[in-house]
Chains A and B, each alone.
Chain A
């Protein structure tokens, strides 16, 4: 009988772990409750952390996973994308709806002026054009007004809802006709549109093919559409590979004694048993780790009972001596050099992603991946890489 793997968390690392475990032949159950850091995706795949620029041997597997997920593209030579804050930045990859400026020919890029609140094409064009990278590449941006709203109420529709309208084939065709009929767009080398090019379908790709020039979005602002696209793509992928989904909040992860079968207990009183468990629970953002500043604690704690311990910088967290509890300011984002403690505190693991117990010994059946791991780079690609590794390892019978 094949091994059973329980993955806790359905963000980037949890989805990758489920995928890898399933590929290795295990039966997989994914337990998840609420959105985490991946739901904050902007549409850019990292570029942030220099240390993880190289995925090394994992590249092939990461690429094949992203291919299955179907919304994110890894770009070997890197890409350049526009942000809604008005600057251009590099990235290791992108949401397929995001315009990659490094493949746009020298010339003028249209920024589609649409009368929707929060979208100021003129300001964005001006800001992007004055970015040094655009200047060096000979790229210009020009706001081009175009009425692509069908109803006045669409001016106030949230990006996600407006994007959903564009999943309909009829609306897509109408949009293509609209854009085609614009004389001002004809000589432009590319078109930047608002972050509403479809939720489930590849609207940007369709427009690019129909108009014979790159069409895409800038990165979405926090909590924007890129996260919503991930959630839909994830649900499809997990269904496709036949992973079982369980919804609920985890209360305990454990195994009785040395021989006991690992189990995951939920608030709903449901118990899921397996041969191995992957903690892809996220850090503070995902809710796997919580701040609990009571007396005698270390401040941070796992949000459920498990044989895991927390660490930062390779050392276990120790209790604070203050009778009023630990001080958060020691971990907060200070704006000074180095990553803040809130981004580094996590589960103590060995270098293979296996969780250590309080004595520092690896627990055979327990793995962790993604933001939940101490000192892991908080990047999407690393979360995917670690998830694939942990899921693959969890699916293997150990000697």
Chain B
């Protein structure tokens, strides 16, 4: 289908999380012309601050087995289209003592027997029942390494899930859509959803670029609201009741530790009986998660020290080593859970729903509510189906489960690539994890400019060529955007050694004044500091002061200016 005669695009998508980028990709693959508008950055909200798993959701098995089935099935599809982004996360679930699952082990065993039925859908391994000795052999740090002495320990279960970088997954969807013709506008807020006065049908959006300040109107025949926790705001901008897009926002936080503290994700029970876990994830460990009704502003969600202490207390029951581990930050996001008044946060459905706002008088406007990372693709397919039906368009069928995402086309030999680029094995391996086959493009860049192999962020590590690549080809416009795509500055040093240099590169690539690059770097550092401040321990406090002192030493008056 070519561009519609009566409008700039067939479809305007609002929201650049996993659902928005998923719809943009699906619709583009089917031949629709698409424009996407994201107020912050790709994966800024829940998508980039999730537990980083596309798990099958055994939690939902008892109440909502259908969710488990779609999650597992779609998790399998994601493996097929983006194999480079996945890593196996084996779980341990000790059973018996305070702070663990208290259900009798035979019942838990039987429960996972049922989950095993879905595992093949995502190439997962079946669960195994473990004796206490098995548990300690696998993870000697359990219960402080006290051997099988933990009171009441009857054994445990190990089961299998997949980890993923939610930022990379959303960016891959956005990049693929863009390369197939979609227009992706980040840092662009929708100010109004325009409607035809006579019949109320949507006819486009008025948007403003928050970095340049420029406003414009983009006409579209259909609009998909994929804004997650921002849904009610979109309803208001479309002139329909905010109840029409009602969600029950649930805040979830994670604590990030400086390294992989365990080889297994470990499940524990918090003081209120909720399940929490610590998970080795990429180079770090994540401890999560909370689930609390959220009444704040989704643009500025932060973990609090209450939430941090709740998680630390819970996990310390099972894995006491966490008390002396070094936390380097927190993440926080808001789940757009389907609205329901009454139940506890934890038992709310993780199902998703596409709402056709014709019932609210706004034909052509669709909202995506609920959902989870693992099932984003099927959710996007369902939303795109509705849009296609509304447009009455003759288009190709959905191909998102068979068409590989950028980087997933083929396997790259990390060792050879690293040697060719003159970077160390770890840098090469991280680069290939994030970019898959596209790492070859970055290598070509380095072949042309050997100095771009220099390591800018030593913690992750990230080389200069990758920073330039994500600015040129992945729609990164600020230091924060670069960090989301590359994990630059998210390691132990908190950006102290790389933010300023990254700001310089962003300014150069984007033709900004160098001062603007420095300001972006300072904003990034301050935000990172604020995510650390809620977990800071004795040694980290000194690190905080060090980082501030060194920024002051170098930038002096500029720091004051920015404050």
- Listed in ascending order, the chain A residues whose CB lies under 8 Å from chain B are 37, 40-42, 44, 46-50, 83-87, 89-91, 115, 117-118, 120, 123, 126-128, 130-132, 219-223, 283-285, 287, 290-293, 324, 327-329, 332-338, 340, 342-343, 378
Task: Answer whether residue B272 sits at the interface, using C-beta atoms and an 8 A cutoff.
Answer: no
- Among the stretches B38-46, B400-408, B482-490, B513-521, the one at the interface with A is B513-521
Are B560 and A329 in touch, CB under 8 angstroms?
Answer: no
- A50 CB contacts on chain B under 8 angstroms: 560
- Among the stretches B88-96, B162-170, B499-507, the one at the interface with A is B499-507
Contact flag A378-B451 (CB < 8 Å), given A131-B515, A290-B541, A329-B305 = no
Are B504 and A342 in touch, CB under 8 angstroms?
Answer: no
Question: Of all chain B residues, which has the CB nearest A227?
Answer: B553
Task: Answer whether residue B534 sits at the interface, using C-beta atoms and an 8 A cutoff.
Answer: yes
- B541 CB contacts on chain A under 8 angstroms: 284, 290-291, 328, 342
Q: Nearest Cβ in chain B — how far from A216, in angstroms? A: 16
Are B451 and A120 in touch, CB under 8 angstroms?
Answer: yes
Jot down 17 A-B pairs with beta carbons below 8 A, ordered by A: A83-B554, A85-B504, A86-B508, A87-B515, A127-B504, A131-B515, A221-B497, A221-B554, A222-B554, A284-B542, A291-B536, A293-B538, A329-B305, A329-B530, A333-B529, A333-B533, A335-B525
Question: Of all chain B residues, which has the CB nearest A340?
Answer: B548
Are A333 and B504 in touch, CB under 8 angstroms?
Answer: no
Are B558 and A40 in touch, CB under 8 angstroms?
Answer: no
- The one of B523, B533, B558 in contact with A328, judged by C-beta atoms closer than 8 angstroms, is B533
Are A324 and B309 in touch, CB under 8 angstroms?
Answer: yes
| C-alpha gap A290/B543 in the complex (Å) | 11
Are B546 and A40 in touch, CB under 8 angstroms?
Answer: yes
Task: Answer whether residue B550 sits at the interface, using C-beta atoms and an 8 A cutoff.
Answer: yes
Question: Of all chain A residues, which has the CB nearest B519?
Answer: A87
- The one of A86, A324, A335, A340 in contact with B527, judged by C-beta atoms closer than 8 angstroms, is A335
Are A86 and B514 in touch, CB under 8 angstroms?
Answer: yes
**5 nearest A-B pairs in the assembled complex, by CB-CB distance:** A335-B526, A291-B541, A332-B533, A222-B550, A284-B545
Q: Nearest Cβ in chain A — how far from B216, in angstroms? A: 28
- B455 CB contacts on chain A under 8 angstroms: 117
Contact flag A44-B451 (CB < 8 Å), given A283-B545, A291-B536 = no
Contact flag A285-B554 (CB < 8 Å), given A328-B541, A333-B529 = no
Question: Of all chain A residues, which has the CB nearest B538?
Answer: A291
| C-alpha gap A183/B327 in the complex (Å) | 54
Q: Nearest Cβ in chain B — how far from A329, in angstroms? A: 4
With A85-B514, A335-B529 given, can you name 19 additional A-B contacts, CB distance below 8 Å?
Answer: A40-B549, A85-B504, A85-B521, A91-B556, A127-B517, A130-B513, A132-B513, A221-B500, A222-B496, A284-B542, A291-B541, A293-B538, A328-B305, A328-B533, A332-B533, A333-B544, A335-B525, A335-B526, A335-B530
Are B548 and A223 in touch, CB under 8 angstroms?
Answer: no
For the complex, would chain B's binding face be called helix, strand, loop or mixed by DSSP majority? Answer: helix
- B505 CB contacts on chain A under 8 angstroms: 123
Task: Answer whether residue B563 sits at the interface, using C-beta atoms and an 8 A cutoff.
Answer: yes
- The one of B513, B534, B548, B554 in contact with A333, judged by C-beta atoms closer than 8 angstroms, is B548
| C-alpha gap A118/B504 in the complex (Å) | 13
Q: Nearest Cβ in chain A — how far from B271, in angstroms? A: 13
- The one of B501, B527, B533, B545 in contact with A85, judged by C-beta atoms closer than 8 angstroms, is B501
Q: Nearest Cβ in chain A — how far from B436, in angstroms? A: 26
- The one of B526, B551, B558 in contact with A87, judged by C-beta atoms closer than 8 angstroms, is B558
Question: Of all chain A residues, which has the CB nearest B550?
Answer: A222
Q: Nearest Cβ in chain B — how far from A303, in angstroms? A: 10
- B514 CB contacts on chain A under 8 angstroms: 85-87, 127-128, 130-131
Q: Nearest Cβ in chain B — how far from A50, in angstroms? A: 7
- The one of A40, A48, A87 in contact with B560, judged by C-beta atoms closer than 8 angstroms, is A48
- A292 CB contacts on chain B under 8 angstroms: 538
Q: Nearest Cβ in chain A — how far from B501, in angstroms? A: 7
Are B530 and A42 in touch, CB under 8 angstroms?
Answer: no
- B525 CB contacts on chain A under 8 angstroms: 335
- A131 CB contacts on chain B under 8 angstroms: 513-515
Question: Of all chain B residues, which has the CB nearest A299?
Answer: B541
Contact flag A343-B451 (CB < 8 Å), given A86-B507, A336-B563 = no
Task: Answer whether residue B441 sits at the interface, using C-beta atoms and an 8 A cutoff.
Answer: no
- A293 CB contacts on chain B under 8 angstroms: 537-538
- The one of A40, A87, A132 in contact with B550, judged by C-beta atoms closer than 8 angstroms, is A40
Contact flag A126-B508 (CB < 8 Å), given A84-B500, A89-B556, A333-B526 = yes
- B496 CB contacts on chain A under 8 angstroms: 222
- B522 CB contacts on chain A under 8 angstroms: 335
Q: Nearest Cβ in chain A — how far from B423, in angstroms? A: 11
Question: Of all chain A residues, which has the CB nearest B562?
Answer: A335
| C-alpha gap A343/B532 in the complex (Å) | 16
Are A117 and B454 in touch, CB under 8 angstroms?
Answer: yes
> Which of chain B's residues 235-283 have a Cβ closer than 8 Å to chain A?
none
- B547 CB contacts on chain A under 8 angstroms: 333
Q: Nearest Cβ in chain B — how far from A167, in angstroms? A: 24
- B180 CB contacts on chain A under 8 angstroms: none
Of the candidates B521, B523, B545, B547, the one having the most CB atoms from chain A within 10 angstroms of its own CB is B545
Contact flag A84-B554 (CB < 8 Å), given A117-B451, A329-B534, A332-B530 = yes
- A329 CB contacts on chain B under 8 angstroms: 305, 530, 533-534, 536
- The one of B517, B559, B563 in contact with A338, judged by C-beta atoms closer than 8 angstroms, is B563
- A41 CB contacts on chain B under 8 angstroms: 553
